[in-house]
């Protein structure tokens, strides 16, 4: 059984039609007709367009579109292959432990820094009104 493209080309040649004549009859670019006849469907715009092109080509040749589409569908069946599982790229437990240790040390440093900021004595940087020791300005006013 010939491929879809070969089948359509043979019908076109049997009717003594040129690619240009089919192009005008179907309003398809000549390059698309040449790709169909060469069975290079992956170079055409998309599955919907391919089916439309095949229907138009079949009508232009006077062949039932269902027959051409059935040939196309049969030729495009793809065997689905289940991919094999990839080898595990898991890191050894030693590197995980090392990462956890580094994270723990960083958190400890951050906690110590935050604690030192919170518990810092505030005698010098407090406003005078809130400070418990009198300043020279307060002493002179009294």
What residue spans define the domains of the chain? 4-75, 94-142
Task: Decide: 30 and 23 in contact? Cβ < 8 Å.
Answer: yes
What is the dihedral sign for C-alpha 110, 112, 118, 124? Answer: negative
Q: Which fold has domain 4-75?
A: 434 Repressor (Amino-terminal Domain) (1.10.260)
Specify the pLDDT at position 99.
Answer: 86
Question: What letter would DSSP give residue 43?
Answer: G
> Full-prediction pTM beyond 0.85?
no
Question: What letter would DSSP give residue 125?
Answer: T
Question: What letter would DSSP give residue 42?
Answer: G
Alpha helix locations (H) across 29-135?
30-37, 47-61, 65-75, 93-118
pLDDT in tens, 31-70: 999 999 999 988 888 889 999 999 999 999 999 999 999 9
Chain centroid to Cα 111, Å, comes to: 41
């Amino acid at each position: 059984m010939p491929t879809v493209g070969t089948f359509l080309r043979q019908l076109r040649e049997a009717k003594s039609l040129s690619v240009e004549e089919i192009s005008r009859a179907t309003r398809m670019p000549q390059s698309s007709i040449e790709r169909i006849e060469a069975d290079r469907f992956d170079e055409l715009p998309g599955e919907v367009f391919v089916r439309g092109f095949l229907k138009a080509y079949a009508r232009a040749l006077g062949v039932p579109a269902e027959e051409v589409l059935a040939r196309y569908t049969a030729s495009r069946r793809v065997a689905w292959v289940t991919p094999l599982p990839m080898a595990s790229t898991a890191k050894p437990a030693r590197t995980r432990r090392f990462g956890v240790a580094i994270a723990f040390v960083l958190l400890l440093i951050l906690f110590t820094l935050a604690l030192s900021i919170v518990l810092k004595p505030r005698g010098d940087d407090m406003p005078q009104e809130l400070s418990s020791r009198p300043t020279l300005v307060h002493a002179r006013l009294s």
